[in-house]
Amino acid sequence: MSGKRALVACIVALLASPGSMAAPTQMNDDSVPMVVTDTTKARQCVIAYLVTDTVTNDTFVSREQIEPTPDESAAHGLYACPTNIPARVAARALEPCITRTGDLRSCVFGDMARGFETQPDVRMTAENTSRCASDLANFIGIACWKSGERNICDVACGKTDQEARDLARGRCEVKQQKRCPITGAVEILPPQ
């Protein structure tokens, strides 16, 4: 009898162990399966713009994805971006800022000309140097100096966060003839 009691005690101990207490995973009809990303699929071109609200000094990244043409093929897992960006794409990049501020005049491209501190106008900024393309860079960086309450900035593209910041600082200091200690960078590619 003592042998049977020992066996029963052993079975009870096994059933009470933490591993045996775990409930099986249950799926019901309402369950949504996990989303799996196709990591082998080539990434579409993304154009990233830096846009600044001159009233608040807020800087926005505006990303626009461009679908490849049917006959286009990817290189190194990336589709090429167009060499000429239509003006409407650039104009659309300003929209998130304009929507937030409600004032068209306060939204400018992030790459500013010398003298922007006295003439804070979109005409004193450059659309083409305020953007980076995902087939050439991974990050878009910005570097600024402070003129009173206003940030005066320039933009650069880089393969890494640090490279984008360093190149932006270099451009800013050459263009503005000032130290540009305020820096930042953001990824060009949107989350997959």
Per-residue pLDDT of 79-119, as tens digits, reads 889 888 888 888 999 998 998 887 889 999 999 999 999 99
Of 18-22, 117-121, 125-129, give the lowest mean pLDDT range. 18-22
Interatomic CA distance for residues 3 and 14, integer angstroms:
17
Check pLDDT > 80 for residue 190: no
Residues in the chain: 192
E strand segments, the chain = 45-53, 59-66, 107-109, 131-133, 139-147, 150-158, 182-187
Mean pLDDT of the chain: 83
Measure Cα distances from 177 to 38, 51, 62, 147 in Å: 47, 22, 28, 13
Comparing 94 with 9, the larger pLDDT belongs to: 94
Q: Is the pLDDT of residue 35 over 90?
A: no
Q: Sorting pLDDT into bands at 50, 70 and 90, what band is 16? A: very low
Residue 11's pLDDT is what?
40
Find where tokens 């640090």 sit.
Answer: 162
pLDDT at 3: 52
**What pLDDT is stored for residue 21 in this prediction?**
41
